[in-house]
Amino acid sequence: MHGILFDHARKSRIGLPEAVFCEHKSREALLTLFEDLGRTPDKPVLFTRLAPEIFKDLPVALQERYQYDELARVAWSGLMPKREKGSVAIVSAGTADGRTTWEAARTLEYLGISNAVYEDNGVAGLWRLASNLEDLNAFDVIIVVAGLDAALASVVGGLSGRPIFAVPTSVGYGMARGGEAALSSMLVSCAPGIAVLNIDNGYGAACAAARVINLVAP
């Protein structure tokens, strides 16, 4: 079949292996990828944006070859070697942001990077963030995940000097506009030096954090 040419050399070029983005791929293409990739333990592979119904439709033998997280919508055949140094905190405004939050966390786990998730730290209850701030500042990088007004990114950016990658989510009613309000809020943050990812892009945030870890803890 046409259109499948896996980039096995990407890790040697940029320090990050290729992952398979599953949305909009045909069942035939995904079946081929699941069969061909992840056969050898020393070459694990990550599948992102993999809907539960698609994974459950795979042959049982293939399902058993992979671990799958239904919330994060990611599957992996194995993990990259554990990194000795470098750590990332993922802090989210609420459990409604869980899909993006855990996509970031599972990607970091796959990449062998130590990480911890701090959910329900939204600005509607600042005491929750305040109680976790000391812990967050012990990590090398912080990923902030938030929808609605996404004010959490500015607050964390004003309280921590760590590299911060902010991810707007599509959570929210009406004027939230599928995450566009959160994206705009993060982009105009008054906290300097915050880097902003695309809406719901937990995978991209994890890779951005990994690039920092690759520098500080090669």
101-127: pLDDT as tens digits: 999 999 999 999 999 999 998 888 888
pTM of the model: 0.90
> Average pLDDT, stretch 16-38?
83
* Residue 139 dihedral angles phi and psi, to the nearest 5°: -90, 160
Are residues 91 and 176 part of one domain? yes
Residue 201's identity, in one-letter code, is N
Does 65 map to a domain? Answer: yes
The string of DSSP codes covering 76-87 is ESS-PPPPSS-E
Domain boundary among 56, 76, 96: 76
Do 59 and 131 fall within a single domain?
no
Beta-carbon neighbour count of residue 83 at 10 Å?
17
Q: What's the pLDDT at 1?
A: 44
Tokens of 168: 């707007």
Where are the extended beta strands (E) located within the chain?
20-21, 46-48, 67-69, 74-76, 87-92, 114-118, 141-146, 164-168, 195-196
Is residue 140 a part of any domain in this protein? yes
Report the CATH number at residue 113.
3.40.50.1970
DSSP 3-state of 180: helix
14 within a domain of the structure (yes/no): yes
* Boundary residue ending a domain (48, 76, 104): 76
CB 52 within 8 A of CB 73: yes
Kindly state the average pLDDT of the residues 83-104.
94
Distance between CA atoms of 170 and 163, rounded to whole angstroms? 23
Joined tokens for residue 174? 């009406």
Contact 156, 164 (CB under 8 A): yes
Q: What pLDDT was estimated at residue 3?
A: 55
What proportion of the chain, given as a percentage, has pLDDT over 90? Answer: 61
Q: Is the pLDDT of residue 90 over 70?
A: yes
Output the pLDDT for position 209.
Answer: 96
pLDDT given at position 70: 95
What are 175's two structure tokens?
A: 């004027």
Q: Show the domain range for 64.
A: 10-76
- Domain for residue 5, yes or no? no
User: What are 176-204's pLDDT values in tens digits?
Assistant: 899 999 999 999 999 999 999 999 999 99
State which of 20, 51, 76 marks the end of a domain.
76
Residue 81 lies in a domain: no
> Tell me, what's the pLDDT at 61?
87
Residue 15, pLDDT score: 67
Residue 9's pLDDT band, with cuts at 50, 70 and 90, is low
Token code pair at residue 77: 């055949």
- For the chain, what is the mean pLDDT? 89
| Domain-located, residue 82 | no
**Is residue 13 scored above 80 in pLDDT?**
no
**Residue 92 sits in the same domain as residue 71:** no
Average pLDDT over residues 155-159: 94
| Count of domains for the chain | 2
Beta-carbon-side half-sphere exposure of residue 59 (alpha carbons within 13 Å): 10
Which residue has better confidence, 33 or 74? 74
156 with 211, same domain? yes
Q: What is the pLDDT of residues 124-145, one digit of tens each?
A: 888 888 889 999 999 999 999 9
Residue-wise DSSP of 108-132: HHHTT-EEEEE----GGGHHHHHHH
The reply to whether 94 and 53 lie within a common domain is no
Over residues 33-56, the mean pLDDT reads 85
